[in-house]
Copies of this chain bind each other. A is one copy, B any other.
Amino acid sequence: MDKSIMIGEILEKVRRENPLVHNITNVVVTNFTANGLLALGASPVMAYAPEEVGDMAKIAGALVLNMGTLNSAAVESMIIAGKSANAHGVPVIFDPVGAGATPYRTEMADRIIREVKVSIIRGNAGEIANIAGEQAEVKGVDTGDIQKNPIDLAVMAAQKLQTIIAVTGEEDVITDGLTTYVGRNGHPILTKVTGTGCLLTSVIGAFAAVEKNLLVAATSAVCTYGIAAELAAEKTVNQGPGSFQIEFLNQLAAVSDQEINEKSNVEKR
């Protein structure tokens, strides 16, 4: 287990600095994303109009682009915001929700990656395989069967797309193509609540806003998120996904840096 990353300290920095995280995200998860970021200690803003996204992105600590319910107007706004973030040194985190489910999603994901310099991409194995040009089954917005193991997949995608890749699932793999972290925090009930992947991408944004080493930031966010989920699942055992969802917001606010440092299960490969 790699204790060289001081994950708890980065979480405390998020809470101290309340970074502004600009999200251009989908209509399913906006409320949950904003509440999750607030609970964590960040300051969320959702702004979508092409007339203002450039101005908002440049004052943000991070820009999160999520194509869950994309349309052509949203893609234009994402690209304007992304270019503004690029010009002002604001890290851009991308969530290619459902890439591969329809040709349009795959094309739009490609276009965003081509036109915006993305710092970190987070997705499930199916989505990452698709944006890296592998054939992979995607069922709606959920992953299907993937040929490669997630570590090989993530490393390949990071090298091909020249960015940090986080493939999350049973095992989480975060890599820049050279250094790879494998995390094993989290809980299966996360798959029973909509937007838990999307919120994680935004939480990566909050960490990236306060920690310049973006590979460390992404790994720390994934680990913190998984531990909050474990704690929430423990507290709501035998209750169900409704209770878990609420307790998860509680735990994002409550989890301490000590708990994070104790429970983190991250291995450097």
Whole-angstrom distance between the alpha carbons of A43 and B230 in the complex?
A: 23
- CB closest chain-B residue, reference A53: B102
Task: Assess the B27–A241 pair: CB atoms within 8 A.
Answer: no
Copies in the complex: 3
Whole-angstrom distance between the alpha carbons of A193 and B141 in the complex?
A: 27
Whole-angstrom distance between the alpha carbons of A30 and B141 in the complex?
A: 14
A69-99: CB near B (< 8 Å → 1, else 0) gives 1111100000000000000000000000010
Residues on the B chain within 8 Å of A192, using CB = 38-39, 253
Residues on the B chain within 8 Å of A72, using CB = 49, 51
Which among A109-117, A158-166, A176-184, A243-251 touches the partner chain? A243-251
Interface size class of A (residues with CB under 8 A): 35 or more
Q: Of B45, B51, B139, B245, which is within 8 A of A249 by CB?
A: B245
Given A34-B28, A46-B27, CB of A55 within 8 Å of CB of B98: no
Q: How far is the CB of A97 from chain B (nearest CB, A)?
A: 10
Task: Assess the A243–B250 pair: CB atoms within 8 A.
Answer: yes
- CB closest chain-B residue, reference A103: B55
Residues on the B chain within 8 Å of A28, using CB = 30-31, 34, 46
Task: Assess the A194–B34 pair: CB atoms within 8 A.
Answer: yes
**A223 contacts the other chain (Cβ, under 8 Å)?**
no
Task: Assess the A43–B239 pair: CB atoms within 8 A.
Answer: no
Q: How far is the CB of A14 from chain B (nearest CB, A)?
A: 14
Q: How far is the CB of A3 from chain B (nearest CB, A)?
A: 27
Task: Assess the A35–B104 pair: CB atoms within 8 A.
Answer: no
**A122 contacts the other chain (Cβ, under 8 Å)?**
no
Task: Assess the A38–B102 pair: CB atoms within 8 A.
Answer: no
**A133 contacts the other chain (Cβ, under 8 Å)?**
no
Whole-angstrom distance between the alpha carbons of A73 and B71 in the complex?
A: 11
18 sample A-B contacts, Cβ–Cβ < 8 Å, listed by A number: A20-B140, A27-B27, A28-B46, A34-B194, A35-B193, A35-B242, A38-B191, A44-B140, A44-B194, A47-B69, A47-B102, A55-B102, A56-B102, A192-B253, A241-B253, A242-B250, A242-B253, A246-B246
Of all A-B residue pairs in the complex, the 4 with the closest CB atoms, nearest first, are: A240-B250, A242-B249, A45-B140, A34-B194
Known contacts A45-B101, A243-B247; 15 further A-B pairs (Cβ under 8 A)? A20-B140, A28-B31, A30-B69, A31-B32, A39-B240, A39-B242, A43-B140, A47-B101, A55-B102, A239-B250, A240-B253, A240-B254, A242-B247, A242-B250, A245-B246
By a beta-carbon cutoff of 8 Å, the part of chain A in contact with chain B is: 20, 22, 26-32, 34-35, 38-39, 43-49, 51-52, 55-56, 59-60, 68-73, 98, 101-105, 139-142, 191-195, 239-243, 245-251, 253-254
